[in-house]
Structure 1
Amino acid sequence: MTLSPDTLRPDTLAELEASLHQMKTANYFLRVAVDQVPEAVLILEAETSEKSGPKVLFSNATAAIMVGVEPEKGLRGMGISDLASGDMDAAILLNCLNRAVENGGAHECQALMQNFYGQPPQPCTWRVRAVFNSLRKLLNFTLVVTPLKSASAVLPAPAMAAPPSCDDLDAHSDRLKQDNLAALAQGIAHDVNNLLGPVTVRLSDLLQQVDGQPGLQEELQLIFAGLKRARQFTSQVVTACRAKPHQKQPVDLSAIIHDTVKFAGAGSNAQLRVRLGTALRWPVADAVKISQVLQNLILNGIQAMPQGGYMDVDAENTDIGLGQDEILKPGTYVRVTVRDRGCGIPPENLERLFKETFTTKPDGNGIGLTTCKLFIRDHDGDIRVSSRLNVGTEFSVYLPAVPAQTASTGVVEKDLAPVPLKNGQGRVLIVDDEDDLRKVAHLILKRCGYQVIECDNGQDAVKIYHSLARTGTPPDVVLMDLTLRGGMNGGETAAEILRFDPEARLVVTSGSVNEDVQMSYLEKGFVGVLPKPYEAGELTQIVHRVVTMMSRA
């Protein structure tokens, strides 16, 4: 039955009208109060758009003024990416929103806010909180945005202290920027690891099935070596985000060059010629980073020669004397030269080549050569370029070096062979929201003798574990991804399972876990750590170890 004013008693109608008036009055005063707040206050919808991100549901007057929009008009309907100054700032904000969903609590980042009134973008601190209901369903996001130029928002000055200097503000701004870039890099590394996961598992399994086909095995081995390099690189990104310095040691540059040239040149129509000097010194370096730099330079050269041709990769010893170079310190070096015969680089672009946002490629992001420069400078070396239009381009990399070593240090890859599979018996619950990886892991474990149950969210994982435990057949191993989309994340799911069954055996799997933080998860009740992307053999080995550990207990 539809209610109308005619069907209601007069006193009931009066009560409803009074309640409605009270709500309107309360809403008015609440809006006036929020408009007086000196920070921008935003409420964003939970749903997101691929193009602009979550849209604004509510904004106060300060937010409109900061963006350069009339307060009466407001920002409703704008996406979070529309409010950011550029792609980098938008990516930082979206990553901050994702972290708020995955980890809960308030998260902070620094990004430039756009201004539509002709003013320059304004650096701001964005405080983000994800709002959930009692069932852990995401309702919306609340954001408080503070201009960074405000001294009180930048540095908490103690009572009676002198105001912060410009240098203090700049230093604080740089630290915030580094923290944001680190968080963004870690998020990207996590996503890349998830993409590499299904391919790594499947390929490592296939390699163990083609023993009688040497040609195919060699091709697959080459691809697998590239995946392992990518895995090492993303692991380094995660480690770098945690501010732990890398250890450098003498590395066999000859082996790195041959290995990298073979991988980077595979499938191209360019012919790469390698020439190495006698008694070539060993740079004191991170082998994976040096390989990444050379790979980037080689691929750039190949792209500059779409019709094919010859490329040179040379390496020779060189010495820098006192006062001989403006950048390099005096000492012994090794110089690696990557030379293509492509279209060349215009003179006006050479100065901008290593800038963070510069690129001439329609689909490029301009960070490849910048990353190379940062890597080499981190090794106390330098990278230089010379180029002539329609003749070619030459990159020279200088690295401090020591005499050639005879020890086994400096090998690029510990072992290119895949980890062997391990058969066993037991019941495994896979909790992962990456469908492809979950299904491949299911296939591998089932073939190796295990019973497998899978699900893609924390709520179902808890229900499945409870159900199996009540029948006396709890999972022997739970493979728990940390970053489950929506609802409970992996940490919350694991805690809920351990509350129900303190003897549960959980193994954490995530693209953002590396060796440096494994102990912290073991202290939280996990019995093992399986960083993504993992191989098929690594998957079966850790499951076998946990099941065996249970049988001995």
Structure 2
Amino acid sequence: MKKPVQNFNTLYETLEKALNRYDELKDQINRERENEKSFAVIKNIFDNMEALVYVSDIMTYELIYTNKKLRDDFGYGAGQTLERKKCWQVIQKDQTGPCPFCTNKRLVRDDGSPGEPYEWECCNTRNNRWYSIVDKAVEWYDKRIVRLETAFDITEKKEHEQLYRQFEKAIETSRKIESIGTLAGGVAHDFNNTLSTIIGNINLAQLGGLDSETQKYLQNAEAGVMQAKKISSKLITFAKGGGPHKTRTDIVELVQKILDMKLDSKNINYTFDCDIIPCQYFADQDQLKTAIGNIIQNSIESMTKNGRMSVSIRYMEEAKKPPRICVSISDTGTGISRDHIDMIFNPYFTTKPMDNRKSTGLGLSIAWSVISRHGGNIHVESVKDQGTMVHIFLPVFNTDIVETRLEKPEPHIPKPAYVEGVLKQVLVVDDDELTLDVVSRLLKRLKYEVTTTSTGSQAVEVCRTAKNNGRKLDIALLDYDMTGGINGFQILEKIKEIDPRIIGILMTGHSDHSEVKKYSQQGFSGLLEKPFSIKQLEDTLKARFHS
């Protein structure tokens, strides 16, 4: 039996409490309805954002909300329930607990209240994409402190940044090689002049009737000079302005010849696979042979006797890019460590011990220089103690390119009349006094009459005086690179205006220079690469007189 109401005051108090409770519940319901409406608006906004958004309990890591972009990017269907799951289970891959890089502790103050937002970048382990993330602790409508995370996909930006860093690194390497190349070109020129003086004096000493033992020593010295010449020729490859002199090139045949030469007698198995190249390709064959040969040689030296090498040539066509030829060389050698892979193209860098070095450390630098001058690039992949893969990319800029032809007919060079008993007249022009002296003495030993000058203007004056006096100069030996004046090409042009019958022979320490390779187009009949021996000098002159 219900207890009767004692009095009206008690009834009034009871009714007032009930009314207040009703108002409180009504306000709570209204607030929840408003929160739900607000959340629906926010949810609609979040679901249409090009960003991943989620809300999680900052204490329990349980998900409260995930937007459509997050579900789509991580492959969750619309029917899958993600709420109440741990954020690290849904967002990351193979995670067994809170992420070691979790930012929750950064987001709240010591008293537990929301702190400042935190911005960071991360590569997600579930889809391997990069995100720019903003995390913020906020008070949820139910008074909980939650983590609100907004993540924008920046993978393409990161890829562009990586490409830019690679580009900067390539530019840095190119500048380094170019600066060394400028120095190397000058050093090689002076070096070859010095070698010319040395070998010239060796040859003169050999003509002095010395005993057989001394002759043997001189022969060894001459061989040493020629070995030094090979080193200087590598330096010349770096020389500024030594661009490729391109001719039609069968890249497949060129690579096959390199393999035959490099792997002959080597106990290394190799495979060679190639595409059909559907267009003409133009390159400087000598330079390209050196570059690819250096890379193959590097692979050979990295392997043991039972090593394996794979070489392939692929023709690649990509949208909005010129077609490319890719030469790939892989080996089972020692590989390259991460610490060293960014330095392998630096001049004189090598990991070979000093007592076991057979090279100068210039091989890969030369390869980089040559391929860059052909408009290409080199990409290297390597795993320490497993092997290395090198990709050489060579663009085919113009499939209908025409080989360089003479713009004007090569001038007719009259053959000088040979009169028995009359010395041939030779003009020697070189700005190096020691070279000038030794070449003059070699020519005199070969029974030529010699006139020497050290400048182009003097050479022109000598020719003019000789013609006015009825004296004929037969041959002009002209140095290509003259300090502070006109070069050998310009000298020959001027003296031929005075006497077109003069035969020009170019002397140079820059034989790989693209302009030097065109010496015949400039009216020269021969080329002497410094340093040259007395026999090379004699053979060149005889060939000109008796051709």
TM superposition score category, shorter chain reference: 0.3 to 0.5
When normalised by structure 2's length, the TM-score is 0.41
Which structure is larger by alpha-carbon Rg, 1 or 2? 2
